Chain A
Amino acid sequence: MTDTDVSATEPVAPAVAPPESMHGVPVSWSHGQQVLHPTADQLSPLVKTLHNDGYHMCLDVTAADYLTHPGRTLPDGIVPERFEVIVTLMSHRERNRLRLRVQVSAEEPSVVSLFELHPGTEAMEREVFDLFGISFIGHPDLTRILMPEDWVGHPLRKDYDSGRIPVQFKGAPANR
């Protein structure tokens, strides 16, 4: 077949939109919510840029451990890692939220802290550190916040022993 035949008979392919990006960071949409996927290096400059755009309030910093997750949808070019730090920003002027998902590897679980720009992330980052073990570089006081100070381990990691005790049934002799 010659090239001209192929081009005459094959249906016109739908125009493929270039992958969406904002400030150089890939964007995806999740149930009507715009989600940005910066790398760990891009996070701090991106948050600064967004702050100038009007995203003055950092609503939430949290994390997720994808160790036993079957597979998540991420835009092309993003390398999935074990941990993800999820930052939610809010712009009051535009009445819009933005979610930032940063991939954090298990070997080196650390991310730059957002404390300088958003002091309200102080407690949230401490919680992520306490429950996941992800360190935040530049955080003024990275200590545990929910667990006792001498606790060992990070409870919300998927490979953490749950601490569930076996439940006795009624009528069984008590062991106390």
Chain B
Amino acid sequence: MTLTTSSEDGTRITEDPALTSEGAQELASRDIVSAVERMRETGAVLRMAESDAAAIAVDDRAAVDFSEDETMIINMGPQHPSTHGVLRIMMELQGETVLRAKPIIGYLHTGMEWTGEELSYLQGCTNVTRMDYASPLFSELAFSLTVEKLLDIEVPERATWIRMLMTELNRISSHLLFMASNGMDLGAVSMMLYGWREREETLRFLEKVTGLRMNHNYIRPGGVAADLPDGWRDDLLRLLEMIPPRLDEYDALLTGQPIWRERLQGVGSIDTETCIALGTTGPILRSTGYAWDLRRDMPYLNYDQVDFDVVVGTYGDCFDRYAIRLNEIRESIRIVHQVIDKLPKGDYRVQDKKVTPPPRARIDESMEALIHHFKIFTEGFKVPEGEAYCAVESPRGELGCYIVSDGSANPYRMHIRSPSFVNLQTLPHLMHGGLIADAVAVISSVDPILGEVDR
């Protein structure tokens, strides 16, 4: 069946598969690729020059030297039910064994760093929040912390504690999303429904506080957008009572189950040295046994005043990452309980008139308030010239925001150091030597969010 191609109305209508190829970005066959690149695609973490790499035989996890006929390069994605968004992976297979893998990204590139330069600092959170759409409050938090550093302002205590509360809840909802999608990717489809059941309850609370289920734009430079509504404490306590028994249900359904263990234990293992060389952070790094968590080691907000454990794994495999995230939900619940007890009264936003818009009621009374409101929302508040970097521990790793300001109301350069972008570099290493069926388990355990990978 042939389809006519036409482009008179400007649409790129084509059925030619070659036009979806990305040329040099793809996995090339063995004889074309340089030795260094070939070893990198097998997941070896190199510290050697091209000549040395060429001199060394391919590592022992795969057999030596193939001809073109024995291996097959296949393409997975970008449209695929299990790639957690538009991630494309090209793999070289020998039979069912993955020899080399190369992730190709950019299918969700939105020019958000460019957009960040067009929007003002107050609007910036609407932009960064859509990067990591499973845990949007973390991106907002990193952005807000950086802007506050540039402004040299101090956020009130209540706002800081509210931020901790909301971000920990967001961590819970992001990890529940992980549990749901991880389960579904591995075939436990009912896990998808269970995970969404809990996540909906969490999102209900987030909607009550922020007004939106996702992409909240709640944490803004200067504090948070609005105070917690009446009755939040009861709702939250009800939520926090509901989740732990359900987590035990997940344990019963998954953790002890032989099929789950067979599919995840020993699959996609990585060691600490490789992780650090690749710049990996978050549950992947912790699964190797290395206890690095920014909340404890470089505390931001008030994490030094709450008590929680950093969950680490032992073998660096997919099962450890699953177990770490499950237990991080429990740790987050613990943190939220402490935050509820310690939450002080006070302002939810810094009272600096140049930064914070006035309350709506005051606009009717005071001309100055009206002018400030107008200036802040149309032009935006100006940030002194400088540059700053702030990082938070998102559910995926270290999420940092680097802003260069030029004294105007828009960032001059805004860059988000996204954990998923860096963590995706572990994929060749994790997949090498495994079966193609494990590729899905591996991607799922890395838990990338393509919005922040591609930005």
Chain A residues proximal to chain B, CB less than 8 Å: 30-33, 56-60, 62, 64-65, 69-73, 86, 88, 92, 95, 97, 99, 116-124, 127, 131, 140-141, 143-150, 155-156, 162
Contact = CB atoms under 8 A, between A and B. Distances in A.
A170 to B, nearest CB: 21
Contact of B389 (A88, A141, A144): A88
Contact of A88 (B22, B23, B48, B400): B400
Nearest to B33: A141
B422 to A, nearest CB: 6
Contact of A149 (B22, B46, B386, B417): B22
A89 B388 CA distance: 14
B402 A62 contact: yes
A146 B106 contact: yes
Contacts of A65: 413
Contact of B23 (A99, A146, A149, A155): A149
A118 B46 CA distance: 9
B interface, by DSSP: helix, strand, loop or mixed? Answer: mixed
B111 interface: yes
Given A95-B297, A144-B106, A149-B22, A62 B454 contact: no
Given A62-B402, A117-B47, A148-B22, 14 more contacts: A30-B388, A31-B152, A33-B389, A57-B279, A59-B417, A64-B413, A64-B415, A69-B406, A97-B389, A120-B425, A123-B424, A150-B23, A155-B111, A156-B114
B276 interface: yes
Interface of B: 22-25, 34, 36-37, 40, 45-50, 105-106, 109, 111, 113-114, 149-150, 152, 276-280, 292, 297-298, 385-389, 391, 398, 400, 402, 404, 406-407, 412-413, 415, 417, 421-422, 424-425, 454-455
Given A140-B34, A155-B114, A118 B412 contact: no
Contacts of A140: 34, 36-37, 40, 50
A149 B25 contact: yes
A73 B384 CA distance: 12
Contacts of B149: 31-32
A119 to B, nearest CB: 5
A89 to B, nearest CB: 10
Interface centre among B46, B391, B415 (most CB of A within 10 A): B415
B40 A122 contact: yes
A14 B276 CA distance: 45
B389 A122 contact: no
A149 B107 CA distance: 12
A95 B417 contact: no
Nearest to A69: B406
Contacts of A99: 389
Chain A interface main SS type: loop
Nearest to B104: A145
A118 B425 CA distance: 12
A120 B421 contact: no
Given A57-B276, A119-B278, A120-B425, A147 B109 contact: yes
A57 to B, nearest CB: 5
B234 to A, nearest CB: 39
B46 A119 contact: yes
Given A57-B279, A59-B400, A144 B386 contact: no
A95 B297 CA distance: 7
A121 B424 CA distance: 12
A119 B412 CA distance: 29
A148 B106 contact: yes
A146 B276 contact: no
Contacts of B276: 56-57, 92
Given A59-B400, A116-B47, A141-B37, A123 B114 contact: no
A109 B417 CA distance: 22
Nearest to B21: A149
Contacts of A32: 149
Contact of A58 (B106, B150, B279, B387): B279
B106 A147 contact: yes
30 contacts: A30-B388, A31-B149, A31-B152, A33-B388, A33-B389, A56-B277, A59-B398, A60-B400, A64-B415, A69-B404, A69-B406, A97-B389, A99-B389, A116-B49, A119-B45, A119-B47, A119-B277, A120-B280, A120-B425, A121-B279, A124-B279, A124-B421, A140-B34, A140-B50, A143-B25, A144-B106, A146-B455, A149-B22, A150-B23, A156-B113
B109 A146 contact: yes
A99 B25 CA distance: 30
A59 B400 CA distance: 9
Nearest to A117: B47
Nearest to B45: A119
Contacts of B455: 146
A121 B40 CA distance: 12
A150 B12 CA distance: 15
B277 A118 contact: yes
